[in-house]
C-alpha cells in the first residue's frame, strides 16, 4: 500500500473517531509539503470544518495528535506533525521511509498496473493508438518525428497503466499527392531508382514531389503571363490536369498506373521501415488508405441512400452539418473520387471489425481538430456505436528556429537528416568524455553516441506539453546539463559506475534503525511518487509528466550524490542503504525513460 493510501486510511479513521464523519477518499486531500514548512505530506482539513464545527487549525491539531496516538496498528508512519491554519503537515518516520524503499521492487511500482477503469487481466480493456500516418510521396520529417514519438510513448504509458494497446498506422498511399510524384518521375526521372541514385526510396520519391511543384508553378506563371487569372491557371495547368487524370485511372484500376504505383510505393516503404527502426518506434497493425477508401465510399453511398447525405448537381456528395454547429462537408468529388474523410470512415469501420476496441485514440496535429469532430459526427450518423467515443489526441506543431517547414518547396527537415545530426553532435560533444573510458572500442563509442543523440532528440520533444506548439533547438537538446535527455542518461551511467565498483555482498540487516539524512528522505519520497506519475501521464495522455518526473529524480540523486558519500561511507549499514537507494533510482530512471522510448547507456 502506498504512503498516500496509508495516510488516507489513517485520516479517515481519525475524522470518524473524532467527529463521527464518514469521509470519502476524495475528501482526504493530500499534497507534498511546501519547502518552507517542516514535513513530507500535507493534509488539507478544510473539507471537515463545516461538519466538525471547529476552526481549521484546531481540527488539524486534533487529527495530528490522533494519528500520533493511534497509528501503532499500522506501524509508526507519522513521526511528528505541525498545524498551519487548515493544513496538517506530517513528518514521516525514517523507519517507514526505509521500509518503503525496500518494498519498491515490484512490477506494479515500475508501471505495470493491471486494472484500468476497474477492469482486470481477465477482462483487459483494449486501446488502439494511431500515429505516424505518412504520405507515400515524401520522407518522414520533423513534424512526423513529434507525432511518432508522442504516439509510441502514449502507447507505452497506457500499457504501463494496464491497457492492452494496439499500435496502428494508416498509410496515405493514394490520392492526388501520390499521383504528383508518380507523374513527375515518369516525365523527368529517366528510370532513376534507389539503387541507381544511392538514395533511400522515400527521399527519392520526395524529390519528385518537389519537382512536380516546381514545374507546376512554372506552368502557372506562363499561363498568367499569357493573360489567365491565377485561379484559372492553377486549375487548367497541364501538369495538374494530367495528375487528376492519373488519379481517375488509378481508381479505375488501370494496370499501368497501378504497377507504377506499387513499384514506387515499395521504394517508399523500404525507406520508412529503415527510419522507423532507427527512431525506435513500431506498429502492431498497418492499414493502407488504398484498402480502406472503398469501404468508406460504400458507407457514404449507404448514407446517401438513407438520406443522411445529399448529392449536388455536379454529382458530388456532401454531408450537411449545420445543425451540429458546423458547415457542409464534401465526401465524394464530382468525378466520384474520395477524400480523406471517406477514407477515415472506412478505416474506422475496419478497425472496429478487426479488434474489440474500448478506446480509439488518434494522435494527429491540432490543425485537424475540425476533421475529427466531423468524423465523429458522421460515424454516429452512419450508425456506428463507437462514433461518439473517438479520442483525438491533438498536439501542437513543432518548428525550427528558422521557421515552418513546407514539403512542396523541399524545405522540410528530414527525420533521417535530423537523427544523423543529433548523433553526430552527441559524438562530438561526448568525445572527450568517451576517451576517458578505459577499454572502450570505437563501435561502443558510436553506440553511446547513438543512444545519447536520439535520447536528446526524444526527450526535448516529449518534455514539452504535447498540446503546445514547440520550437526544437538541437543545440539545447544535446546539453549534458539542465533539463535534457543526456543529463538524465549521464545520471544513470554515473549510478552504474558506482554499482560496478561496489561490494556486492553488503547486507541490509538493521538499516530500518538508521537515521536518514534529509537528502535521503527526499530521494525516497521522490521514488515513491513514480506510480502516481505514471497513472497521471496515462489519464492525461502526457509523456511530458514522465519527463518532468525523470528530471526531478535525476536532480534529487545528483544532490544526494554531491553531499553524501556512497562508496567511501565507513558505516557498512549506511553504505548498503545508499547503494540500494542508488540502484533503485537507476531502475526507476530506466523504466521512466523506457516509457519515452529512450535507451540508457551503461557508460558515458
366, 389, 413 - which closes a domain: 413
Mean pLDDT of all residues in 463-475: 89
pLDDT at 407: 41
| Residue 534 falls inside a structural domain | yes
How confident is residue 104, by pLDDT bands cut at 50, 70 and 90? confident
Indicate the residue among 74, 92, 110 that finishes a domain: 92
My answer on whether 580 and 491 are in the same domain is yes
Residue-level pLDDT at 361:
97
Residue 120 lies in a domain: no
Q: State the pLDDT at residue 509.
A: 82
- Supply the pTM of this predicted model: 0.90
> Phi first, then psi: what are they for 428, rounded to 5°?
-70, -45
- Model pLDDT, residue 353: 95
* 75-89: pLDDT as tens digits: 689 999 999 999 999
Both 463 and 446 in one domain: the answer is: yes
DSSP 278-323: HHT---SEEEEHHHHHHHHHHHHHHHHHTTSSEE-TTS-EEEE-GG
**Does the pLDDT value for residue 106 go beyond 80?**
no
CATH code, domain with 15: 3.30.1360.70
Chain segment 285-329, per-residue pLDDT in tens = 999 999 999 999 999 999 999 999 999 999 999 999 999 999 999
Confidence of residue 410 (pLDDT cuts 50, 70, 90): very low
Q: Find the CATH number of the domain harbouring 160.
A: 3.40.50.620
476 and 579 belong to one structural domain: yes
Averaged pLDDT score across all residues of the chain: 91
Whether residue 147 contacts residue 109, with contact meaning beta carbons closer than 8 Å, is answered with: no
Percent of residues, the chain, with pLDDT higher than 90: 79
CATH of the domain at 454: 1.10.730.10
Q: Across-strand partners of 223?
A: none
Q: Note whether 74 and 134 are same-domain residues.
A: no
How confident is the model at residue 528, as a pLDDT?
Answer: 94
The 8-class DSSP code of residue 30 comes to E
Residue 603 lies in a domain: no
Containing structural domain, residue 38: 3-92
Is the pLDDT score of 110 beyond 70?
Answer: no
Please say whether the beta carbons of 179 and 557 come within 8 A. Answer: no
Is the predicted pLDDT of residue 113 greater than 80, yes or no? no
What is the per-residue pLDDT across 539-568, written as a single tens digit (0 to 9) for each?
999 999 999 999 999 999 999 999 999 999
Give the model's pLDDT for residue 285.
Answer: 97
Instruction: Average the pLDDT over 156-176 and give the result.
Output: 95
Q: Using CA atoms, how far apart are residues 465 and 459, in angstroms rounded to an integer?
A: 12
Domain assignment of residue 106, yes or no: no
Which secondary-structure segment (H or E) carries 24? none
Question: CA 395 to CA 389: how far, in whole Å?
Answer: 19
Asked if residue 375 is part of any domain, the answer here is yes
Residues 236 and 316 grouped into a single domain: no
Per residue in 477-516, pLDDT (tens digit) is 888 888 999 999 999 999 999 999 998 777 788 788 889 9
202 and 76 share one domain: no
Q: Same structural domain for residues 568 and 421?
A: yes
> Are residues 425 and 506 both part of a single domain?
yes
Same domain, residue pair 166 and 233: no
Same domain, 470 and 327: no
Number of domains in the chain: 4
Domain assignment present for 109: no
Q: Is residue 103 part of a domain?
A: no
Residue 72 scores a pLDDT above 70: no
Binning pLDDT at 50, 70 and 90, where does residue 251 land?
confident
Residue 159 in domain: yes
User: Do 269 and 291 sit in the same domain of this protein?
Assistant: no
Do residues 209 and 344 both lie within one domain? no
Q: End of a domain among 241, 256, 283? A: 283
Least confident of 1-5, 72-76, 142-146, 464-468: 72-76
**Which tens digit of pLDDT belongs to each residue from 189-240?**
999 999 999 999 999 999 999 999 999 999 999 999 999 999 999 999 999 9
Check: CB of residue 460 under 8 Å from CB of residue 484: yes
Rounded-to-integer distance, Cα 503 and Cα 492, Å: 19
Q: Which residue has the higher pLDDT, 315 or 438?
A: 315
Amino acid at each position: 500500500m502506498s504512503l498516500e493510501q496509508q495516510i488516507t486510511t489513517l485520516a479517515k479513521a481519525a475524522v470518524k473517531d473524532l467527529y463521527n464523519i464518514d469521509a470519502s477518499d476524495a475528501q482526504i486531500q493530500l499534497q507534498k509539503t511546501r519547502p518552507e514548512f517542516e514535513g513530507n505530506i500535507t493534509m488539507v482539513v478544510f473539507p471537515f470544518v463545516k461538519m466538525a464545527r471547529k476552526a481549521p487549525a484546531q481540527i488539524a491539531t486534533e487529527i495530528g495528535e490522533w494519528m500520533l496516538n493511534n497509528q501503532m496498528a499500522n506501524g509508526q508512519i507519522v513521526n511528528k506533525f505541525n498545524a498551519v491554519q487548515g493544513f496538517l503537515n506530517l513528518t514521516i518516520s525514517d523507519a517507514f521511509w526505509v521500509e518503503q524503499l525496500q518494498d519498491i521492487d515490484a512490477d506494479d511500482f515500475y508501471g505495470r498496473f493491471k486494472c484500468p477503469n476497474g477492469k482486470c487481466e481477465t477482462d483487459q480493456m483494449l486501446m488502439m493508438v494511431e500515429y505516424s500516418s505518412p504520405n507515400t510521396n515524401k520522407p518522414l520529417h520533423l513534424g512526423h518525428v513529434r507525432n511518432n514519438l508522442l504516439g509510441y510513448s502514449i502507447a507505452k504509458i497506457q500499457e504501463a497503466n494496464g491497457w492492452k494497446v494496439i499500435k496502428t498506422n494508416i498509410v496515405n498511399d493514394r490520392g492526388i499527392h501520390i499521383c504528383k510524384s508518380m507523374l513527375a518521375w515518369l516525365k523527368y526521372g529517366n528510370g532513376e531508382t534507389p539503387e541507381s541514385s544511392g538514395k533511400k526510396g522515400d527521399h527519392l520519391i520526395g524529390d519528385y514531389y518537389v519537382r512536380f511543384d516546381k514545374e507546376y508553378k512554372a506552368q502557372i506563371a506562363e499561363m498568367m503571363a499569357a493573360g489567365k487569372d491565377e485561379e484559372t491557371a492553377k486549375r487548367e495547368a497541364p501538369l495538374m490536369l494530367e495528375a487528376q487524370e492519373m488519379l481517375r485511372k488509378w481508381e479505375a484500376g488501370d494496370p499501368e498506373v497501378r504497377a507504377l504505383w506499387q513499384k514506387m510505393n515499395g521504394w517508399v516503404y523500404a525507406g520508412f521501415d529503415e527510419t522507423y527502426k532507427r527512431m525506435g518506434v513500431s506498429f502492431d497493425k498497418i492499414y493502407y488508405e488504398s484498402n480502406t477508401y472503398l469501404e468508406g465510399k460504400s458507407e457514404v453511398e449507404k448514407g446517401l441512400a438513407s438520406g443522411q447525405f445529399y448529392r449536388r448537381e455536379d454529382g458530388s456528395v456532401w454531408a450537411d452539418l449545420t445543425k451540429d454547429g458546423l458547415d457542409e462537408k464534401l465526401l465524394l468529388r464530382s468525378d466520384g473520387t474520395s477524400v480523406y474523410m471517406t477514407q477515415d470512415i472506412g478505416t474506422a469501420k475496419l478497425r472496429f471489425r478487426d479488434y474489440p476496441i474500448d478506446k480509439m485514440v488518434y494522435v494527429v496535429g491540432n490543425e485537424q481538430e475540425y476533421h475529427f469532430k466531423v468524423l465523429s459526427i458522421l460515424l454516429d450518423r452512419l450508425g456506428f456505436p463507437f462514433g461518439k467515443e473517438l479520442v483525438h489526441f491533438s498536439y501542437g506543431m513543432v518548428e525550427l528556429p528558422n521557421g515552418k517547414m513546407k514539403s512542396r518547396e523541399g524545405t522540410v527537415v528530414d527525420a533521417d537528416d535530423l537523427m544523423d545530426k543529433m548523433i553526430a553532435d552527441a559524438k562530438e560533444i561526448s568525445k572527450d568524455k568517451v576517451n576517458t573510458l578505459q577499454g572502450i572500442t570505437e563501435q561502443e563509442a558510436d553506440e553511446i553516441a547513438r543512444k545519447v543523440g536520439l535520447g536528446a532528440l526524444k526527450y526535448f520533444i516529449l518534455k514539452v506539453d504535447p498540446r503546445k506548439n514547440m520550437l526544437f533547438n538541437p543545440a539545447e537538446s544535446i546539453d549534458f546539463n539542465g533539463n535534457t535527455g543526456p543529463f538524465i542518461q549521464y545520471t544513470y551511467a554515473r549510478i552504474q559506475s558506482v554499482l560496478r565498483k561496489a561490494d556486492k555482498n553488503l547486507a541490509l540487516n538493521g538499516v530500518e534503525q538508521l537515521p536518514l539524512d534529509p537528502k535521503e528522505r527526499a530521494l525516497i519520497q521522490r521514488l515513491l511518487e513514480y506510480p502516481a506519475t505514471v497513472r497521471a501521464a496515462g489519464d492525461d495522455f502526457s509523456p511530458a509528466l514522465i519527463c518532468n518526473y525523470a528530471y526531478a529524480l535525476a536532480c534529487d540523486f545528483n544532490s544526494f550524490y554531491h553531499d553524501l558519500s556512497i562508496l567511501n561511507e565507513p558505516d557498512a549499514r549506511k553504505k548498503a542503504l545508499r547503494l540500494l537507494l542508488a540502484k533503485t533510482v537507476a531502475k526507476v530512471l530506466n523504466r521512466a525513460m523506457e516509457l519515452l522510448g529512450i535507451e540508457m547507456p551503461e557508460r558515458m
